[in-house]
Structure 1
Amino acid sequence: MKHRSYKNEWFLLAGALLLTIVSFILDIYFCDLNWFARSGALVVLFAAVVEFRISGHIYDDIQRSQFLNKTIDISVPLPAKPTKERKRISIVAHTFLVIGTIIWGYGDLLWPQT
């Protein structure tokens, strides 16, 4: 099977992180903007896009193996193991989904309301 590098997915997650950091800094200097809490929604969106792209890669792998007529002896069950890179990007994307949701829901509570 062809190994993927997931450069675009890492770029999306890095962009989400950068957006969150910039939003946090903006909220420190301009308290009434609430950009940090809003950035949580974008982090969730970026992480969901990454998860969708990963599932597309998995689907491509399944289609490729069917096209090549690869058969697996089902008398001996084999656990499906993703590549280390796919597993790593998936864990980071899942973490961003959770953290982004927390930021989205509670990020505005970090600063006193005026």
Structure 2
Amino acid sequence: MAVSLRSSIAKRRSHLNAALGIRQSKEFILIFFCILFSVVIAVVSFVVDYKFDCETYWFTRSGALIALSGALLEYSKLMKLWASSKQNEQSLESVSTRIKKGNGVGLKEVAEESVQTRDFAIRIYNVLTNKDKVDVYAFIMAISGTLIWAYGDIPFIFGWL
């Protein structure tokens, strides 16, 4: 019974991640944290500005944090690519190590390294141009944060609220 329940929960979680287009649980946690943080900070700061008549305008300042959360999402995507590429590069033997071992450097190895460098450039290009759910969330958060940051004090200044 317990094994069946665990497998059922695991299947539901994988179906949810597949439906959201999220492949790894770390991505899901980061997206969830950034969105939750942004919503909570915006709501709390809006309530504080609405309830207390102060000219500090915390809601406007929360826009900067929301935009920063969007930037964090995009940055995490690029850092994941760099980490995997660094790990691949560290697994390769350096030219100086090959020379010390007496293997030398051949034209074939230089050509293979050139192909790997080209493939890395193509992967960077694909990551930057192919948009996924993380990019959409990051874009929405950056734009909404910027708008709140720029215009969030106007309803309070003109007394619309």
Please report the TM-score for the alignment, with normalisation by the length of structure 1: 0.71
Q: 2: CA distance between counterparts of 1:102 and 1:20? A: 12
Question: Which has more helix, going by share of residues?
Answer: 2
Indicate the percent of aligned positions where both proteins have the same amino acid.
25
Match of 1:30 among 52, 58, 77: 52
Gaps of 5+ in 2: 1-22, 93-111
Gaps of 5+ in 1: none
Aligned to 1:43: 66
Q: 1: CA distance between counterparts of 2:44 and 2:72? A: 21
Contact 1:13–1:93, Cα closer than 8 Å, also in 2: no
Once structures 1 and 2 are overlaid, which stretch shifts more, 7-16 or 101-110?
7-16
Aligned to 2:40: 18
Contact 1:10–1:89, Cα closer than 8 Å, also in 2: no
Aligned to 2:24: 4
Per-residue CA distance 1:74-109 (angstroms, 9 max, x = gap): 9xx9x9479xxx811221111110110110011011
Identify which of structures 1 and 2 has the higher relative contact order when contacts are C-alpha pairs closer than 8 Å and 6+ apart. 1
Per-residue CA distance 1:34-90 (angstroms, 9 max, x = gap): 010010011111221221111111323445667699x89x9xx9x9479xxx81122
CA RMSD of the aligned region, Å? Answer: 3.3
Q: Rg bigger for which structure?
A: 2
